[in-house]
Structure 1
Amino acid sequence: MSGYRYGSYHDGPDPLAPPYDIREAIDAMGDSMLEGTGPAEALRELLRRGLPGDRRRRGLDDLLRQVRSRRQQLRGSGRLDGTLEEARALLDRAIGQERAALFPDPSDDARLREAELDTLPQDTAQAVRRLSPYQWRSPEARQTFEELKDLLRRDVLDAQFRGMKQAMTNPDPAAMQRVKDMMSALNDMLEKDARGQHTQEDFDAFMREYGEFFPDNPQNLEELVDSLARRAAATERLLASLTPEQREELASLMAQTMEDAGLADEMARLGSALRQRRPDLDWTGSERMNGDDPMSMGDATTALEELADLAELEGALRQDYPGARMDDIDEEAVRRALGRQAVDDLAELRRIEAELERQGYLKRRGGSLDLTPKAVRRLGETALRRVFAQLEASRKGDHDQVDAGQAGELTGASRPWRSGDEQPIDVIRTLSNALRRGGAVAEAPRPRVRLEVDDFEVLETERRTAAAVCLLVDLSYSMALRGTWGSAKQTALALHTLVASKYPQDAVQIIGFSNYARELHPTELAGLDWDMVQGTNLHHALMIAGRHIDKHPEHDPIILVITDGEPTAHLLRDGRSAFDWPPSPETLELTLAEVDKMTRRRATLNIFMLADDERLVSFVEEVARRNGGRVFAPTPERLGEYVVRDYLRARRGGR
């Protein structure tokens, strides 16, 4: 043992870990599907509601509510014209300080200066441009005007580069030159990438040199472009969200600030490159902010950028577009908007979707989502549990015919073994036969018993009768309109599961009928939807059921029909369906002719009516008169109970 070491397994998922328990998710989907929804819709509903049970996780609807709440909160966080308001306030203060210094001076120069101040335009940007070469008499006014220019420089740059405000808190010529160098290097890198010459080493070198300007720490050029483009688009939307007068004033301030800083050309190059690389972003939209507090240009841009991210996240969380997948949701966007807990909830929802496919419950085929036989068995078991929960224990019954045979419960008797027998060996009788024959061997080291073929006996069992079961389910549009389609599908699943699990010797066939009839296989049954067509072609359904019975002449025939309307369609000789409303005499005659054929086959038709229309009642009474079957009128909630109970009764030989 000294040559072995033990430690944690690092080569992927733990191969000995128990499988992820997905049963709660399947059962939750089953609740929707047994009510009539398809697999894709049931999965979407599960992901919207979240995971039930002990491992409760919020669903997409909960995350959507959080996103919408955050958007509403952001819209009420302030006004977009904060930079303009602060710039005007600083400008007014500087002018006021200058006038205070000029007022005591009786010289002509002072009067000329006052006249110049009087003629300043109302537009803040134009006033700042006119005052840029002005020689301030008041030191306080000069300082206030410098504060104004610093504010504009910081806010305009911060609107383009997140976090630039902190970098430009105490600007000096060297700091501004570094900003120019950064923007020049950035534009060169983008142009090099456009020529197909950019490498990751180029990006890494750029970040080593200028990484402090990008606090979000992008890992490659694409991440950097995405961050800058989203911010630039948010700046454009900020301008579009202002009044025309505010927009013109702020745009002029931005242009003048960039020009004064020597960054106008580089900023134009950058803006053009970003637009070309990300034309999919919203560069022309606007956003309404209804808060009271003024926001700086950088903060307003950040708010609009976050609002755009939230709008995009909301679209992904809705999952209401063709081919939507959980993988479409940006985990980093969820983390930024909603926090770590939301990321964990999203990861759990993603795992549900992935595990349903990995563990073989769902499979994607083209653009559709289908259930596998494994999932159908699980849903059938759920449907059967629901049905048996309604049945009274005293009325569940059994359907064994006491007779020596090959399968069933033990009778307590035994008989000699015959070739082909599958019954269990009666060990005591077999050994007793050998001993009576003298098969004991005493001279061996240990006593033994030598067995011969004639010594063997097998335990007798009760032979169970086999049945050919046909369940005919109405798929017509009226089933959906009356809200009975989900109950019919649940009943079909429950019956199929009951036959397959408890009575495997029975041959079961489920037939759906609307304008035409067709056999329904278990894998399509759970995800089946009603047919939006006209016609209740019971004639065709009985023809298919008759062929099933004829294939199993040694089986007892059981025919169960679920419908909410009288026959309104029949099959023509050329295979087309003929529809008439009210039902034509030919439709009724051909359908009743198939009923008569079933009667000659000694097959009893029991009909479960889900409506009490006069025409339907009249038709089923005629079927009962001709065939001797029974008519039931259950509520949709008790349909499964009625059908399963009737099947069990028929299997016991009842009428």
Structure 2
Amino acid sequence: MTSYRYGEYQDGPDPLAPPYDVRGALDEMGDAILSGSTPLDALRDLLKRGLPNAPGRRGLEELLRQVRQRRRDLRQNTRLDGILEQARELLDRALEQERTELFPDPSDDARFREAQLDNLPGDTARAVQELSEYDWRSPQARRSFEELRDLLRREVLDSQFKGMRDALANPDPAAMERVRQMMAALNEMLDRDARGEHTQQDFDDFMRDYGDMFPENPRNLDELVDQLARRAAAAQRMLASMTPQQRAELAGLMDQTLQDSGLADQMRRLGDSLYARRPDLAWNSAERVSGESPMSMGDSVSALQELADLNDLESSLRQDYPGARLSDVDEEAIRRALGRGAVDDVQALKQIERELEQQGYLRRNRGKLELTPKAVRRLGETALRRVFNSLESTRRGDHDQHDAGAAGELTGSTRPWRFGDEQPIDVVRTVINGVRRGGGAPVTLSVDDFEVAETERRSAAAVCLLVDLSYSMALRGTWAAAKQTALALQALVASKFPQDAVQIIGFSNYARVLQPDELAGLEWDMVQGTNLHHALLIAGRHLDRHPDFEPVVLVVTDGEPTAHLRRDGTPQFEWPPSKETLELTLAEVDKMTRRRATLNVFMLAADERLRAFVDEVARRNGGRVFAPNVDKLGEYVVSDFLKARRRS
């Protein structure tokens, strides 16, 4: 009997996971946008925090933290002079073995050789160079010295070609000859490419012959050059990170090794070609490392290469440069640094950024990220839904009334359906008509069978929401709530009262009509003046254009009027408010009263002057004054509007 075991899916994102709700991402951004952030900043903040509806997915901040931790670990555990220690140990061993062989010999030749050994330079590289022609008397010393030269050959080549140390683990002249042939072929291929003669077939032929020497499996010459250049630059950074004495000693060992191997010229050609193709790499910058355990030369270069990758990765994950996009993040670098799971996290973030644009919520205009009208409508719907949820939790308002915005109360009679009717279908009368026409079962319905329930006529409303745009709204922290309230009211009218004519007016030193599409990104005005006079003038013109509509005027402000409009159309500001400003503003209030428009004022500050002014407005107009908490502003405004509509 076959048994099966099931576990967590490991090969990439869970294929059965539900897709991420892009609208939820927009709602998350909306809170920041309504508080004054730009869409670009709001998107960056969302990507940094991660996806709230996708548990387990890391955001850029968490990935950045792990990248920085990995970089700290590398710096604290990397010691670059390990190859020098190894070389010195092998050299000292060879010298000790040679002296042991020479000591019993009383000949002048033995004493001369001992003098040669005693006078060797203290620098390992120069000592190795002088001993390259020395005729060792001790077979053990000869083997130790060859072991040293073989070590240097493997490590120097491994510092340039990753994995070469393992390929040359066994000293084999044929293997070294193949390395020489590979480097000659590589340099020739680079020269052909510089002349514009290189083809993909040339690369494929090269990889067929020498692909086992390149474990990273590049797919073309550009990828191979990138891999080799990054490693060569890391080798240069390793030298730059050493003390001057260590640098000179290791550089000497490398030069001597390449000369002995017959690779010096080829390696010089390769280095020049790589630098010419990738001068953007940090070839000579030093890294601060402080490890205790010595590392081999190849491992040191790999560590510095990884540090360079981590530095680049940190820059792309920070996303704090002009034109930054998540597509700049190198997924292969993420995989090398943090593993496959981190790649899945980045891909999920990229998908959100991509979907927000593809689904029409964000657009780029001359490099600037903007909300689309679709996104603004979504933010309005979200704001309205939050208001309704809050109303439901406090049992305030009749928000769940399903016939809100319908034509009116049912009269009890029906009539045939006509194209464009919004009245509810009378199902019983409709089915009866179908039975009568068809004469029995099964019942089939035609357009002529449908009847609708007649309702009382309900008048439309002309709605004016006047929102204070003065700088004090931002200082008091009421700006985001005011914008959210305006969006919620706009969404409510558009969805449930489409016959209404709504106008949102913002006012500071001037007043102006605000279009729904600009509400979300609207900023406060850094000017002096609260020109309610001008706002009431514009609202009055809107009401006059709809004389048969029920007038609804709502004012959201945190200060009394401090400006009015002169006859020449310019604003005049005075603090404390001038007598002329108050008189002209109250004159517009009286005009609203004659239009039968009730002004309800939502007062967002406890200032005595503001209280006195709004009390006078209420006395003259008969409207009401509310002093809601900022987080309850939307509830008050929407609830008050619904009450006014139910009375109409």
State the TM bucket, normalised to the shorter chain: 0.7 to 0.9
Q: Secondary structure at the match of 1:411?
A: strand
Please give the alpha-carbon distance, in whole angstroms, between the structure 1 residues aligned to 2:509 and 2:178. 78
User: Is 1:511–2:473 an aligned residue pair?
Assistant: no
Look up the match of 1:527: 521
Q: Secondary structure at the match of 1:464?
A: coil
Matches within 5 A, 1:211-226: 211-226=211-226
Q: Secondary structure at the match of 1:57?
A: coil
TM-score when normalising by structure 2: 0.87
Instruction: Tell me by how many angstroms 1:261 deviates.
Output: 1.5
Look up the match of 2:629: 635
Please give the alpha-carbon distance, in whole angstroms, between the structure 2 residues aligned to 1:192 and 1:416. 85
Please give the alpha-carbon distance, in whole angstroms, between the structure 2 residues aligned to 1:590 and 1:252. 90
Q: Secondary structure at the match of 2:363?
A: strand
Q: Secondary structure at the match of 2:77?
A: coil
Please give the alpha-carbon distance, in whole angstroms, between the structure 2 residues aligned to 1:512 and 1:588. 19
Look up the match of 1:168: 168
| Residue type at the aligned position of 2:474 | A
Look up the match of 1:6: none
Please give the alpha-carbon distance, in whole angstroms, between the structure 2 residues aligned to 1:631 and 1:46. 38
Out of 527, 533, 551, which is 2:545 matched to?
551
User: Is 1:609–2:603 an aligned residue pair?
Assistant: yes
User: Is 1:644–2:638 an aligned residue pair?
Assistant: yes
Matches within 5 A, 1:144-183: 144-183=144-183
Residues 426/221 of structure 1: CA separation in 2 closer, same or farther (3 Å cut): closer
Residues 19/574 of structure 1: CA separation in 2 closer, same or farther (3 Å cut): farther
Look up the match of 2:209: 209
Matches within 5 A, 1:290-439: 290-391=290-391, 395-397=396-398, 407-414=407-414, 423=423
Please give the alpha-carbon distance, in whole angstroms, between the structure 1 residues aligned to 2:479 and 2:542. 24
Out of 604, 618, 624, which is 1:624 matched to?
618
Please give the alpha-carbon distance, in whole angstroms, between the structure 2 residues aligned to 1:653 and 1:523. 30
**What are the superposed Cα offsets for residues 446-499 of structure 1, whole Å, 9 maximum, x if unpaired?**
9x9xx9x9x998632133232111112223333222222221122112111112
| Residue type at the aligned position of 1:311 | N
Look up the match of 1:108: 108
Look up the match of 2:265: 265
Please give the alpha-carbon distance, in whole angstroms, between the structure 2 residues aligned to 1:290 and 1:626. 79
Please give the alpha-carbon distance, in whole angstroms, between the structure 1 residues aligned to 2:159 and 2:422. 84
| Residue type at the aligned position of 2:286 | S
Please give the alpha-carbon distance, in whole angstroms, between the structure 2 residues aligned to 1:477 and 1:409. 45
Please give the alpha-carbon distance, in whole angstroms, between the structure 2 residues aligned to 1:295 and 1:57. 35
Look up the match of 1:7: none
Q: Where do 5+ consecutive residues of structure 1 fail to align?
A: 1-17, 434-439
Please give the alpha-carbon distance, in whole angstroms, between the structure 2 residues aligned to 1:365 and 1:352. 19
Instruction: Tell me by how many angstroms 1:165 deviates.
Output: 0.7
| Residue type at the aligned position of 2:233 | A
Name the stretch that deviates more: 371-380 or 238-247. 371-380
| Residue type at the aligned position of 1:505 | Q
Look up the match of 2:92: 92
Look up the match of 2:189: 189
Instruction: Tell me by how many angstroms 1:377 deviates.
Output: 3.0
Instruction: Tell me by how many angstroms 1:188 deviates.
Output: 1.6
Q: Is the 8 A contact 2:388 2:399 kept in 1?
A: no
Please give the alpha-carbon distance, in whole angstroms, between the structure 2 residues aligned to 1:345 and 1:421. 50
Q: Secondary structure at the match of 2:283?
A: coil
Please give the alpha-carbon distance, in whole angstroms, between the structure 2 residues aligned to 1:357 and 1:622. 50
Q: Where do 5+ consecutive residues of structure 2 fail to align?
A: 1-17
**What are the superposed Cα offsets for residues 246-272 of structure 1, whole Å, 9 maximum, x if unpaired?**
112111211221122221111111111
Residues 271/616 of structure 1: CA separation in 2 closer, same or farther (3 Å cut): farther
Q: What is the root-mean-square deviation of aligned Cα atoms in Å?
A: 3.5
Please give the alpha-carbon distance, in whole angstroms, between the structure 2 residues aligned to 1:233 and 1:481. 52
Aligned length in residues: 625
Q: Secondary structure at the match of 2:457?
A: strand
Name the stretch that deviates more: 244-253 or 604-613. 604-613
Instruction: Tell me by how many angstroms 1:526 deviates.
Output: 2.6
Q: Is the 8 A contact 1:399 1:464 kept in 2?
A: no
Instruction: Tell me by how many angstroms 1:285 deviates.
Output: 1.4
Please give the alpha-carbon distance, in whole angstroms, between the structure 1 residues aligned to 2:107 and 2:139. 19
**What are the superposed Cα offsets for residues 150-196 of structure 1, whole Å, 9 maximum, x if unpaired?**
11111111111111111222233322222222112211211221122
Q: Is the 8 A contact 2:78 2:303 kept in 1?
A: no
Q: Is the 8 A contact 1:37 1:529 kept in 2?
A: no
**What are the superposed Cα offsets for residues 265-315 of structure 1, whole Å, 9 maximum, x if unpaired?**
111111111111111111121211222100111101001111111111111
Instruction: Tell me by how many angstroms 1:363 deviates.
Output: 2.5
Residues 327/425 of structure 1: CA separation in 2 closer, same or farther (3 Å cut): closer
Please give the alpha-carbon distance, in whole angstroms, between the structure 1 residues aligned to 2:569 and 2:355. 44
Residues 267/426 of structure 1: CA separation in 2 closer, same or farther (3 Å cut): closer
Look up the match of 1:502: 496
Residues 79/502 of structure 1: CA separation in 2 closer, same or farther (3 Å cut): same
Q: Is the 8 A contact 1:34 1:526 kept in 2?
A: yes
Please give the alpha-carbon distance, in whole angstroms, between the structure 2 residues aligned to 1:406 and 1:244. 86
| Residue type at the aligned position of 1:481 | L
Look up the match of 1:14: none
**What are the superposed Cα offsets for residues 402-461 of structure 1, whole Å, 9 maximum, x if unpaired?**
9xx99234232457999997756879889999xxxxxx999x999x9xx9x9x9986321
| Residue type at the aligned position of 2:53 | G
Q: Is the 8 A contact 2:20 2:53 kept in 1?
A: no
Q: Secondary structure at the match of 2:250?
A: helix
Please give the alpha-carbon distance, in whole angstroms, between the structure 2 residues aligned to 1:441 and 1:634. 59
Look up the match of 2:9: none
TM-score when normalising by structure 1: 0.87
| Residue type at the aligned position of 2:523 | D
Determine what percentage of the aligned residue pairs are the same residue. 70
| Residue type at the aligned position of 1:396 | G
Name the stretch that deviates more: 555-564 or 610-619. 610-619
Q: Is the 8 A contact 2:21 2:53 kept in 1?
A: no
Please give the alpha-carbon distance, in whole angstroms, between the structure 2 residues aligned to 1:578 and 1:199. 75
Q: Is the 8 A contact 2:506 2:514 kept in 1?
A: yes
Q: Secondary structure at the match of 1:207?
A: helix
Please give the alpha-carbon distance, in whole angstroms, between the structure 2 residues aligned to 1:158 and 1:422. 79
Q: Secondary structure at the match of 2:456?
A: strand
Out of 471, 481, 484, which is 1:490 matched to?
484
